[in-house]
Amino acid sequence: MFLGSLLTISHRKPLMCYEKELHNCSKIQNHHYLMIKNRKEYKHTYELPAYLQEKINSKTKKTAPKLETEEEAEDQLIIRTQQPSPADLDTNGNQLVLHDPKIEHNASRALVQRQQHQQFYIPEKPEWHAPWKLMRVIGGHKGWVRSLAVEPENKWFASGSNDNTIKVWDLASGQLKLTLTGHVMTVRDIAISDRHPYMFSCGEDKTVKCWDLERNRVIRDYYGHLSGVYSLDVHPTLDVVVTGSRDSTVRVWDMRTSTGIFTLSGHTQPLTKVKCQATDPQIISTSNDKTIRLWDLAAGKTQTVLTHHKKPIRGLALHPTQYAFATASPDNIKQWKFPEGSFMHNFMPRHEGIINTLSINQDNVMFSGGNNGSLAFFDWNSGHKFQELQTTTMPGSLESEAGIFSSTFDKTGMRLITGEADKSIKIWRENPDATPESDPGIPFDPEQFRDRY
């Protein structure tokens, strides 16, 4: 009896499980049926209309290259994916990605932020430039040469120094023509007007001076800064002088009356460079606070603040013919586009060390001078460094005095003038005998451009 009951129970339990499994199977089948029904019902919502699909297919057949094997097709896909053309980039450096790069259909275009430009874009081979070499060494100052400026007719240039003097030199011969005294502390910057016979200077004595070049004396002083004045520039078309100071302000002055027009505040640390851009018009300023500011000169307020640099910015130069400028800090040198300050690219390989000065000529050669006495020359358009060398100190100077504080090209762009820590002025020029075969320069390596952006 016990055995029979046990058998009955053991047979009933499997039957109940089978019934449950059959019930579950029927539920799954019903669910699957509903999924298929819904897919068919809404099929038109995720498929293109037949006429549009046919149009796209016909266009693809016309424009797509004929590939013989699957391997060629796969290689072509990799090339399209990894190397977009510059035409696929917008003005902000974003990549425009197409589902099919050969189809110019607005519905298939999507904007994707390029987070790692270096993985995709390989620049074209840079233009060849002849190497630069030392032409002349000029001595005369008794302190560091902190500033340089060439007059509009390209006959002479002026230098300002830690010895509190400004010296005027003949550009062709390198002979001293004149020494101007008036500052009681270091002369930090000099600018010469293109439209007036005036030269302007500023120094650590908090003053800005206007020199009459016909009488060789100071005719006007500009007072207002609360600390040393580190940089100045003369506007190319307006009778305006712009100065940047250790007091973290930019001041705009009326050249004729020495009256202050604007005091521009925004930087939080000392100014290092100021420049005027005539077209808009704008003022560009750099600072130890690691920022670049573009100012609206007409309104007297900030237009744009650029925060790309991670270290204090000491170098600033405007391109003489292009609507662009460059800035330098120990992290890298960057190229920008006016008027919004759009970032273009970094210059590679990097110029290691603290960069004090930048200069650009008409032939798209950019120079940078370092605190350690290093000189670097870059192709402006590609950002490639094609030459790097070390300055030579004056006899009797220490190796630690091999530093470059200031630089400028002459008006032709054929001579480079540098002011240095060994109290000397050096003039450099391109080697006229160089050829691409004899002097190819620093090899161009596309892999180095991974940090281009």
* Domain membership flag for residue 30: no
Q: How many residues does the chain have?
A: 453
**pLDDT tens-digit profile, the chain (453 residues):** 443 444 444 444 454 554 555 455 555 556 555 555 555 555 555 455 665 566 566 655 544 444 444 444 444 443 343 444 444 444 444 444 333 444 344 333 333 334 444 444 555 688 999 999 999 999 999 999 999 999 999 999 999 999 999 999 999 999 999 999 999 999 999 999 999 999 999 999 999 999 999 999 999 999 999 999 999 999 999 999 999 999 999 999 999 999 999 999 999 999 999 999 988 899 999 999 999 999 999 999 999 999 999 999 999 999 999 999 999 999 899 999 999 999 999 998 888 889 999 999 999 999 999 999 999 999 999 999 999 999 999 888 888 889 999 999 999 999 999 999 999 999 999 999 999 999 999 988 777 666 666
CATH number at residue 269: 2.130.10.10
In the chain, how many domains are there? 2
Where b means 16+ CB within 10 Å and e means fewer, 96-110 reads: eeeeebeeeeeeeee
Query: Do 103 and 140 sit in the same domain of this protein?
Result: no
Of 98, 121, 144, which closes a domain?
A: 121
243 and 189 housed in the same domain: yes
In a domain, 399, yes or no: yes
Indicate if 111 and 140 belong to the same structural domain: no
- Asked if residue 49 belongs to a domain, the reply is no
In a domain, 8, yes or no: no
Q: Is residue 442 part of a domain?
A: yes
Both tokens assigned to 238: 């307006």
DSSP annotation string for 63-132: HSPP-SSHHHHHHHHHHHHH---GGGB-TTS-EEEESSTT---GGGEEEE--S-GGGT--PPPPPP-PPE
DSSP 163-200: TSEEEEEETTT--EEEEEE--SS-EEEEEE-SSSSEEE
Rounded Cα gap, residues 380 and 388, in angstroms: 15
Please tell me the pTM assigned to this model: 0.74
- Residue 90: give the domain boundaries: 71-121
State the Cα torsion 387-393-394-396 to the nearest 10°: -160
Query: Around 115, how many Cα atoms within 13 Å sit in the side-chain half-sphere?
Result: 0
What's the distance, Cα to Cα, between the start and end of the chain in Å? Answer: 89
Residue 151 placed within a domain: yes
Do 235 and 104 reside in the same domain of the chain?
A: no
